[in-house]
Amino acid sequence: MLPRRNRPKKKVTLRDVAAHAGVSPKTVSNVVNNWPYISDATRQKVQRAIDELGFRPDGLASSLRTGRSKTIGVVIPDITNPFFGQVVRGCEDVLYAAGYTIFLCNTSEDQQKEQGYLGMLVDRGVDGLLLFGARSDAATLSTIVHDAIPIVAEDCPAPHANTTVIDIDNGTGARLATAHLIALGHTRIGHLGGPLLRTAAEKRAEGYRQALEQAGLAFDPALAVPCTPSLRGGYGAALHMLQEQQPTALFCYNDLIAVGAMIAARHLHRAIPSELAIVGFDDIALASLVEPALTTVRVRQYAMGRAASELLLARLSGVENEASSHSVAVELVVRASSGAGGDGG
């Protein structure tokens, strides 16, 4: 006979909880599965018994009974970008409160990795998907994710008709940023864009071109280049453009690129903002901490993550039965990096 301290602890069962709470096993099951027609008093009594006994429901058994795994797949392109950290925090806060667990997948901007993760999430039986910045095209995504799985997607193509789309107002943000630089007197404005095939990158580049056109300025392809949306990507692209094209202002796809461009400008002894004005996009925390503080287009990242999760939960609960489109508003936040000097000094 094993010494008492070494005996394996007996697993607490649903029946143990029922006996402890003085209710039927069926009532405990209903509470565990969030059945709506349970009085608050009974729910609290059962929850107290669960806490006191340390009962852990069998997730697999529960999913077989309810047809739900209570899991959500969240796919992001770059876990090192603080923008997505805030988005995921918003997602998690809403989903955790609703009793869901998330599987977080970072694709590192790699299409093959992205497709592998999506296949894994489908195989694991997630109840829904939150896709941010997917690189694969709609046709490829639709072969991996069947239309029975509700999706909320931002900055990526809708793989099927069961997709709710969230769109940051990228075009408006880009026009605001570029028009701000034009109003300061700049006529030679470079655009350090985002990755090719990224919807947001295309819309921000289009907004940049529209602002130039509206001001009567010619678009110069040599002043608009795609780059990796990172500090290193922004540094390299800016270093090349500042030496070869001599812009007096830069509108950058995101804040990380913009900060990389600021570092490149310093290495080339270009003073910001008197010799080079810089505007970013996103308004991550770093934007207000760099010197000079970065003028940028604000996207409320945490709120967007919450909104995406709330939309997905509405689809799962049947409150929202049809896919829909939603726009995320943006605003220009003017700080020191854009200054007041134009081409003339």
Domains of the chain: 4-65 (1.10.260.40), 70-169+301-329 (3.40.50.2300), 170-299+332-338 (3.40.50.2300)
Q: Rounded distance, CA 134 to CA 107, Å?
A: 9
Buried b (16+ CB within 10 A) or exposed e, 91-130: bbebbeebebebbbbbbebeeebbbebbeebbeeebbbbb
Spatial CB neighbours of 185, under 8 Å, sequence gap ≥ 6 = 341, 342, 343, 344
Residues 86 and 301: beta-carbon distance below 8 Å = yes
Supply the pLDDT for residue 62.
53
Contacts of 211 (CB under 8 A, 6+ apart): 174, 175, 177, 178, 179, 182
Q: What pLDDT sits at residue 314?
A: 92
Q: What would the DSSP string read from start to end of 99-128?
A: T-EEEEEE-TT-HHHHHHHHHHHHHTT-SE
Q: What is the pLDDT of residue 86?
A: 98
What is the Cα–Cα distance from 52 to 57, expressed in whole angstroms?
A: 14
User: pLDDT in tens for each of the 345 residues of the chain?
Assistant: 444 444 445 778 778 888 999 998 778 877 876 676 788 899 899 989 988 888 876 654 555 455 578 999 999 999 999 999 999 999 999 999 999 999 999 999 999 999 999 999 988 889 999 999 988 888 888 888 877 889 999 988 777 777 899 999 999 999 999 999 999 999 999 999 998 878 899 999 999 999 999 999 999 999 999 999 999 999 999 999 999 999 999 999 999 999 999 999 999 999 999 999 999 999 999 999 999 999 999 999 999 999 999 999 998 987 766 778 899 999 999 999 999 544 433
Question: What is the predicted pLDDT for the residue at 25?
Answer: 78
- DSSP assignment of 132-187 equals ES--S-HHHHHHHS-TTS-EEEESS---STTEEEEEE-HHHHHHHHHHHHHHTT--
pLDDT at residue 342, rounded to an integer: 40
Q: How far apart are CA 292 and CA 226, in angstroms?
A: 24
Predicted model pTM = 0.80
